[in-house]
Chains A and B, each alone.
Chain A
Amino acid sequence: MEAFRSFSRPGEPPSIGEYLGKERIVGTPALRKEGVAKVRGSARYIDDISFPGMIFGATVRSSIARGRIQKIEFGEGVIWDEFIVVSAKDIPGENAIALINKDWPCLAADRVNHPEEPILLLAHPDRHLLPKAVAAVRIEYEVLPSVHSMEESERGDVIVWGADNVFKKFLIDNGNVDAAWDQADFIVEGEYTTGAQEHLYIDNNGAIAAYTPDEGLTIWGSMQCPFYAHKSLVCLTGLPEDKVRIIQVETGGAFGGKEDYPSMIGAHAALLAMKSGRPVKIMYDRMEDMVATTKRHPSRTRIRTAVTKEGKLLAADIDFTTDGGAYSTLSATVLSRGTIHAGGAYYWPNIRVRSKALATNCPPHGAFRGFGAPQSLFAMERHMDRVASAIGMSPEELRRRNFLRPGLATATGQKISEDVNLEHLLARALTISGYSAKRERFSRENIRAKKKKGIGIAAFLHGSGFTGSGERYLNSVAGMDATAEGKLRVLVSSTEFGQGTNTILCQIAAESLGIDYDAVEMAPPDTGIVPNSGPTVASRTSMIVGKLVHSAAIGLRQTLQASGLLGESWTTPEFCEAAKTHVAKYGALRSDSRYEPPVDVHWDDQTYRGEAYAAYAWAVYVAEVTVDMLTYGVTVDDFVAVQEVGRVLNPTLATGQIEGGVAQGIGYALYEKVQWERGRMANGQMTNYIIPTSQDIPPIRVFFEEMPFGHGAYGAKGIGELPMDGPAPAILNAVSHATDTDFNAIPLLAEDICLRLALRQTVPVEAVAV
């Protein structure tokens, strides 16, 4: 057991140089905290939990896209007396899932705005009786006209939300875009679209609620953000804050899909529990989860750029539009991130981004890994290849000439202060992938080939943490304490859902306390126990919450030292013994740390100017593909992902994050298509919504550059969302290279390629005929 060496003077943050190479735990592949339980099958997810007397809930949903509810009848063949039935009338507080706005009803009272909108709740002790009962409820509607595309929504013939169907608009206007067109040698325009994407976590959404007047309401659920649910449930029930308790249970994947919707399911379970007086579990099956819960926002991006023949980008005029679905939910913040990332990893002397999120009559779209950035970055990275082609320059050279560098400013006027070197990342990615030789060879060999090969790149950035003033508003707190037995605990509302929160926060805590990793554990993610360290979203856990845990740990250590129970050096047992003694003597040992914004971060919400993010992760990805000209199917043959994410806290987990994100990105690009039928997902089954299997994923080769970031825990920046941004454009660039045809929309299915290539083949024939 190694004795602790103090590396910082109290009160002063250690400098980066002091970190490197000195850590015992940070930077090592510490084993996943809850890993043994997961490989044994003993980890308890929401559907694995039950309580005595627990009954089961189900949701009656709208069958139409938009209309007024005229009549509800309870049909025959069901013993209705045995069922608990809840409608909007049973809601004690506000009928809303409180997020940014309160326009999202918990239960539709008199009108519905999308298919599968919740209207009634049923509960019964026999869960197998519920599907039949749900089907037996007959609802008559007066059908109202509905809107099912961004184009229809912006035309405004039918208004389905607010005054103009617009949830939110942003404008970034930097420099003088309109004056740039005259100076351009080339003006390149393009339109790029992305589809909805289903999260497809393997653990479906579910919640259990229990209520007694004395103890109040407790919700257990599969979720990312216990305090979001807490806020929402307080608003819904009208109960005092301390009578609502939210407990996250083991959560089997989330990817943003369990950011807002668990508040809805929790609310439904709560209403049934309050009415029945019994614990109620609502567990969605796969189809209900797919058709009723959120998806990634579909998007349309129009880009017009001015460029010189030397490949200098002069200006970009970008119109970024997203489909938000029927209620505003998180659309404004998703739009914000997409807007800020729209300029990509490039320096634009002049740039204007106009963006809007529109209402349509499908279930609200929500958070999904990347949060708007994969959409606008897809457009920019496809566009860069088209610009390169238009001016006769290689895609990598065009990028190289325009990369953001330290000292240059982003679209929001944020001067890059990190020591980023995108040229180096690019060079490394090109070398590892053998890009140049392949690009040349494929171009040569493709002409007559039945299997055409292509290689494409994407260079991009992803802002870590909440946008702009977000972290300031969140005002997060993390803590550390010791139990009576001398166990050290991390107290955060940041949740584990596979990405490694438990592990990295315990690594940071153990490192900061100077004790063994095994001596630190996570306090249960229970709003009755932990402080609000903010939602587990936005790639903020390592960087922001990790830093708070780091400070809280230092505080706890200093408390122990100040009390005289701990000397200048110690072993783990000595530390734990000291902590135990402290608890016995003073009743507790606890240290909290509150977020303090870095002094050099300024953001103006009105003009959308300033430091949009405290830090960015940077990356260059290379995809190699084969397009089979018989079947028009695309196979990704090789994938190289080079990134700079600050300090890598745990190489195994970090690599796994990148690989998993790349696989989701491959799905986003080539496999995953939500098929809409008047606002309803028609392919809400795993059989028909296709995600990649073990036989569809190429070798994913992951490389990190590590440049520790001063404000993150041990130099960490965000990592979770980054890998979602790059695969789709890299793959489409590769497919476009292989086929010598521009493909600007995802998902790109074999059917789409067939249509384009087969049609093109017939063109010369028609010309001859004329």
Chain B
Amino acid sequence: MRSHPAEYDFASPGSLAGVLERLDSEPGEWLPVAGGTEVMVQYGAGRLRARRLLNLWNIVDLRQITETSEHLSIGGGCTFAQLRGHVSVQEHFPLLAQAASWTGGIANQNRATIAGNIVNASPAADSPPALLVYEAELELISARGTRRIAYADFHLGYKKTALQPRELLLAIHLQKRFAGWFRYAQKTGARNAQAISKICVAAVGKLRDGRVEALHIGMGAVAPTPLRLRKTEEALLGTILTEDAIANGRRMLLTEIAPIDDIRSSAEYRRQVAANLLEDMLRNFAAKGNAA
């Protein structure tokens, strides 16, 4: 343990209003912490710059999953264990349930929250590709009100997000409109469990008369932020998934991603595997068409 606990302030307002008030009166001073699976790692390693922490764990308002016939709203404080076990998430957003099961080991899934994963903004996180392809909307809240933002617009650059210092990620909103769509998800890590992704991909799509009518592709660990592959999608829309179309998709993908060499993998590997996974996805898409 490389930090001194006496050097850290820790406040537990106990309610959402209390948390927001603290964030509002001293913006940028307080680092919200929920399950601690990221913040406490930094703290243990002596790398946590924030000295004042604001407790979000078990704030009831943040842990609800609510739904209507058309929408599902996930409170930012929901854990991955909660997500992967939730019947509606499994039914309507299976790629998200899958991503939740890939995130860390069982004990960490009991603590790590979806909002923490999003706000931490690691380009290699497992859930963002699924959120991107489901075109999630984020609801941000501050003492002054709430605002909604498309998740696709949330990540501004490496570890930079649209979240303001006074704000908290209140909820993730999803539309139940993917029933019957083709879906695909893959993760490659250094091992089968508890691995940070070298590449993760999620995709949903629809074919009509053998042509691509809709296609959303999200990828992690191939750019400074989680990436929605708009250009690749664009290139494939309206096409029949022939060998040429697939090869074209590979080419477009390689213009769109910008992976790096880091301690977990190489840029070269990531480019190759990203393209392989895209190709695999497209072949499955062509073969299976609409899943349901």
Contacts and interface: CB of A to CB of B under 8 A. Distances in A.
Contacts, number: 73
B268 A695 contact: no
Contact of B263 (A631, A633, A675): A675
A675 B194 CA distance: 20
Interface in A119-150: 126-129, 131-132
A418 to B, nearest CB: 39
B3 to A, nearest CB: 7
Contacts of B2: 131, 285
A695 B1 contact: no
A474 interface: no
Interface of A is mostly: loop
Nearest to A135: B46
Nearest to A761: B272
Contacts of B186: 630-631
A749 B195 CA distance: 14
Contacts of B273: 630-632, 750, 754
A751 B269 contact: yes
Contacts of A749: 190
In this complex, which of B3, B4, B277 has the most chain A Cβ atoms within 10 angstroms of its Cβ?
B4
B3 A128 contact: yes
Contacts of A682: 263
Interface string B25-37: 0000000000000
Contacts of B269: 632, 750-751, 754-755
Contact of B191 (A126, A127, A696): A696
Contacts of B287: none
A671 interface: yes
A668 B273 CA distance: 24
B185 to A, nearest CB: 13
A688 interface: yes
B45 A690 contact: no
Interface residues of B, number: 31
A750 B263 contact: no
Nearest to A690: B190
Contact of B272 (A633, A635, A754): A754
A489 to B, nearest CB: 39
A123 B126 CA distance: 42
B192 A128 contact: no
Contacts of A675: 263
Contacts of B17: none
B5 A128 contact: yes
Contacts of B193: 693-696
A630 B199 CA distance: 12
Given A128-B1, A285-B1, A754-B268, A671 B263 contact: no
B188 A751 contact: no
Interface string B1-33: 111111000000000000000000000000000
A320 B271 CA distance: 37
Interface in A270-326: 285, 287
A61 to B, nearest CB: 14
Contact of B276 (A126, A128, A630, A683): A630
B199 to A, nearest CB: 8
A758 interface: yes
A690 B1 contact: no
B84 to A, nearest CB: 16
B64 interface: no
A42 interface: no
Given A631-B188, A631-B276, A690 B195 contact: yes
A692 interface: yes
Interface in B117-156: none
Interface in B210-257: none
Contacts of B192: 635, 693, 695-696
A601 to B, nearest CB: 44
B272 A758 contact: yes
Contacts of B188: 631, 633, 750
Given A450-B280, A631-B188, 19 more contacts: A127-B1, A128-B5, A129-B4, A285-B1, A629-B276, A631-B276, A632-B269, A632-B273, A635-B192, A671-B190, A671-B191, A683-B263, A690-B191, A695-B192, A696-B193, A750-B198, A750-B269, A755-B268, A755-B269
20 contacts: A127-B1, A128-B1, A128-B5, A285-B1, A629-B276, A631-B186, A631-B188, A631-B273, A633-B188, A635-B192, A688-B263, A688-B264, A692-B191, A693-B191, A693-B193, A749-B190, A750-B188, A750-B190, A754-B268, A754-B269
Interface of B: 1-6, 45-46, 105, 186, 188, 190-196, 198-199, 263-266, 268-269, 272-273, 276-277, 280
